[in-house]
Amino acid sequence: MRMLITGGAGFIGANFVHQAVREHPDVRVTVLDALTYAGDRSSLAPVADAITFVEGSVADAALVDRLVGESDAVVHFAAESHNDNSLNDPSPFVETNLVGTYTLLEAVRKHGVRYHHISTDEVYGDLALDDPAKFTPETPYNPSSPYSSTKAGSDLLVRAWVRSFGVQATISNCSNNYGPYQHIEKFIPRQITNLIDGVRPKLYGAGLNVRDWIHVEDHNSAVWAILDRGRIGETYLIGADGETNNLQVVQTLLEVFGRDADDFDHVNDRPGHDMRYAIDASRLRDELGWSPGFTDFRTGLEATVDWYRGHEAWWRPAKAAVEAKYAQTGQ
């Protein structure tokens, strides 16, 4: 099996490539990644000898056509992924998330290659704090940000290419991931690296927004289950019942670092900030027999803290620039 993995130098993609090399020795991996600010080749250093790495964009039609033509399956992680960045400049989000996905779809259509599309629960918009509902595959799309709207658009392209052209595709919409190799612009690694530096964590607004946290290894094991046993044309929601508000996350981290529970700052809120995400993953659990390995959030968080403590050389070069950017918006 020859597998093309886009965005393999990013957070989830790199963890997926590691899992592929570790647990699926029959798979020959090629990574296509543009090495944007979010891509880091050193995240693939432990598996560098076992894979082929190609630097380039998913929106480069000639390159994508060649690589897809040499593959049996494509798993598409590459994206502009950060909501805050999409509020400052939406244009790369349109190019990578929409044009890039279109480019891949045209290539898998031409070459008859199996395609799995990695997407997000944010396509469904948000839920109220007092609403017992969770997102299901039937929840109407209602994205809030430039990021989530381009992801929603990319999902709709996939659905149309399945129905109109018979492309052999599946889609997964996952909730918030945490774990090793996550860029420090994101909430959890930003606060961990702040705490390592003796800086107070930064909470947007009141900090009551809820995210449904899942360990990246569990997201990726679900993707393998879909690749193995998923129904073509189907959408699978991935989540591990990890609803936690941002304040609780910060206070757990403060406890892990032995700091006082009120040792954090409230900073400017995100415009249009989604209130709550929650996933009903019963299709994945019932049809494909998937279940998460990380069931205790605190244990997963402690392991993640240890990883950032042990890999300062990986994140340190980006820290000052990330904080300078947040300072511009008072965050």
* Dihedral angle sign, alpha carbons of residues 9, 175, 311, 36: positive
Q: Is the CB of residue 208 less than 8 Å from the CB of residue 245?
A: yes
118 is a site residue for ligand NAD (CB under 6 A): yes
Distance between CA atoms of residues 245 and 16, nearest Å:
27
Distance in Å, CB of 277 to ligand DAU, minimum? 5
Distance CA 249, CA 311 (A): 21
**Could you tell me the smallest distance in angstroms from the CB atom of residue 260 to ligand NAD?**
28
When the beta carbons of 73 and 79 are compared against ligand NAD, the nearer one is 79
Q: Choosing among ligand NAD, ligand DAU, none, which partner's interface includes residue 33 (Cβ < 5 to 8 Å by kind)?
A: ligand NAD
86 binds ligand DAU (CB under 6 A): no
CA 276 to chain centre: 17
CB of 119 to ligand NAD, least distance (A): 6
Tell me if 209 contacts ligand NAD by CB under 6 A: no
Which residues partner with 267 through β-bridges? 204
Q: Determine if 304 is a binding residue for ligand DAU (CB under 6 A).
A: no
In contact, 276 and 127? CB cutoff 8 Å: yes
CA atoms of 122 and 145, how far apart (whole Å): 9
State in angstroms the smallest separation of the CB of 2 from ligand DAU. 27
109 contacts ligand NAD (rule: CB under 6 A) = no
Residue 11 interacts with ligand NAD (CB under 6 A)?
A: yes
Contact flag: residue 173 with ligand DAU (CB under 6 A): no
Under the criterion CB under 6 A, does residue 97 sit at the interface with ligand DAU? no
Q: Is 145 in the site for ligand NAD (CB under 6 A)?
A: no
Please say which residue, 11 or 290, places its beta carbon nearer to ligand NAD. Answer: 11
Alpha-carbon distance of 8 to 15, in angstroms, equals 8
State yes or no: residue 243 binds ligand DAU (CB under 6 A). Answer: no
Kindly state whether residue 186 participates in binding ligand DAU, applying the rule CB under 6 A.
Answer: yes
Check binding of 20 to ligand NAD (CB under 6 A): no
Query: What is the bridge-based pairing of β-strands 210-212 and 243-245?
Result: antiparallel
Contact 91, 73 (CB under 8 A): no
Size of the site for ligand NAD (CB under 6 A): 31
Burial of 153-164, coded b for 16+ CB within 10 Å and e otherwise, reads bbbebbeebbee
Q: Which does 203 bind (CB under 5 to 8 A by kind): ligand DAU, ligand NAD, none?
A: ligand DAU
- Rule CB under 6 A: choose which of 77, 102, 135, 277 binds ligand NAD: 77
As a whole number of angstroms, the distance between CA 79 and CA 327 comes to 25
**Tokens encoding 117:** 């599309």
Q: 10 Å Cβ neighbour count for 254? A: 19
Smaller CB separation from ligand NAD, 58 or 74? 58
Q: In the complex, which residues of this chain contact ligand NAD (CB under 6 A)?
A: 6-7, 9-13, 32-36, 38-39, 57-59, 77-81, 96, 100, 118, 120, 151, 174, 176-177, 183
